[in-house]
Structure 1
Amino acid sequence: MKITTKGRYGLTIVLELTRCFGQGPISLRSIAEKKGLSEHYLEQLIGPLRNAGIVKSIRGAHGGYILGDEPAKITAGDIIRTLEGPIVLVESIEDEEAAQRELWMRIRNAVKDVLDSTTLEDLASHGDDPLVDGYMFYI
């Protein structure tokens, strides 16, 4: 399974909304400018997220988007499945021999478990720290 820019940028949108949770609506233009992304492309992604209830739109001069629920209740899996479809690593695994089928299912389940147990609150708590893994290298 390869996560495309749809999944990656969709996650970017909702993470920005998570970081501003409770502060009112955020425009796609501000997210696009802050992250250096195409506003037009983000507009294509926001529709499915809104239809799934992950985000809500607010109309008006000070409108924009807010999260549809609390950050602790929305998972990375919700966003990825909404924009990318079902999590499938290998097509037609029923045609594989039992040992291989078991391997593919275990890998798929591990990926699903990580995505479904990681909330927006978890992701937002990491911030934009370039040293995510905690290592510092000096040359």
Structure 2
Amino acid sequence: MKISTKGRYALLVLADIAENGREKNVSIREMAERQGISDKYLEGIVSRLSAAGLVKSGRGKYGGYRLVCETKDYNVYEILYAAEDSIALVSCLEDDAEECPMMNDCLTAPLWKHLQDEFRKVMEQISLEDVIEQRFPVEA
């Protein structure tokens, strides 16, 4: 799995909203200026985050975006899943993939499935709050 620019920026956008939107909505223009990303590109990312229910929008003079819950309640997996076209390690494990005719006989399919499941578990353990605070779970 390669995390695309969309996925990386989705995490950045939510962190920006969390840091700058405590008392107000955060506009795309403000985020774009702070992050050095084009307004147009951010609109696409925020649209995906909104469709996934991760942000809510406000219109008018003080319009912009807010988080729908606390930063501790978001996890990296759900954010990337909302932003990316696919987060599968290999194409045969994509959500909308046709079942591979070789799946039952494929020697490596169980490995890819296991690695993907483990990666997902790790991403689900890391909250947006952890990202902002730079805290990451460490295995003993």
Question: Structure 2 length normalisation: TM-score?
Answer: 0.81
Is structure 2 residue 21 aligned with structure 1 residue 13? no
Classify 1:4/1:86 alpha carbon distance in 2 versus 1 (closer, same or farther; 3 Å).
closer
Equivalent residue, structure 1, for 2:34: 34
Query: Partners in 2 of 1:91 and 1:61 — Cα distance?
Result: 44
Structure 1 position 21, deviation (Å): 4.8
Tell me the CA shift for residue 92 of structure 1: 2.6
AA partner of residue 122 (structure 1): D
Cα deviation 1:25-67 (Å, max 9, x = unaligned):
1111111111111111001111121111100111121221110
Q: Does 1:113 align with 2:121?
A: yes
Structure 1 consecutive aligned stretches of length 4 or more whose deviation exceeds 3 Å: 96-99
1:82 aligned onto 2:82: yes
Q: State whether residues 76 and 123 of structure 2, in contact with CA within 8 Å, keep that contact through their aligned partners in structure 1.
A: yes
The count of aligned residue pairs is 127
The separation in 1 between residues aligned to 2:17 and 2:129, in whole angstroms, is 11
TM-align CA RMSD: 1.9
- Which 10-residue stretch deviates more, 89-98 or 67-76? 89-98
Cα pair 2:75 2:124 within 8 Å, conserved: yes
Alignment correspondent of 1:134: none
Structure 2 unaligned spans of 5+ = 94-99, 136-140
The equivalences for 1:1-139 within 5 A come to: 1-92=1-92, 95=102, 97=105, 99-126=107-134
Q: Tell me, what secondary structure is at the counterpart of 1:57?
A: strand
SS of equivalent to 2:91: coil
Q: State the secondary structure of the residue aligned to 1:60.
A: coil
Q: Shift in Å at residue 74 of structure 1?
A: 1.0
Q: Which runs of 5+ in 1 are unaligned?
A: 128-139
- 2-structure distance, mates of 1:16, 1:80: 16
1:115: Cα distance to partner? Answer: 1.5
Cα shift at 1:86 = 4.6
Shift of 1:99: 4.4
Match in the other structure for 1:130: none
Q: Distance in 1 between matches of 2:77 and 2:92?
A: 22
Identity of matched residues, %:
33
Aligned AA (2:22): G
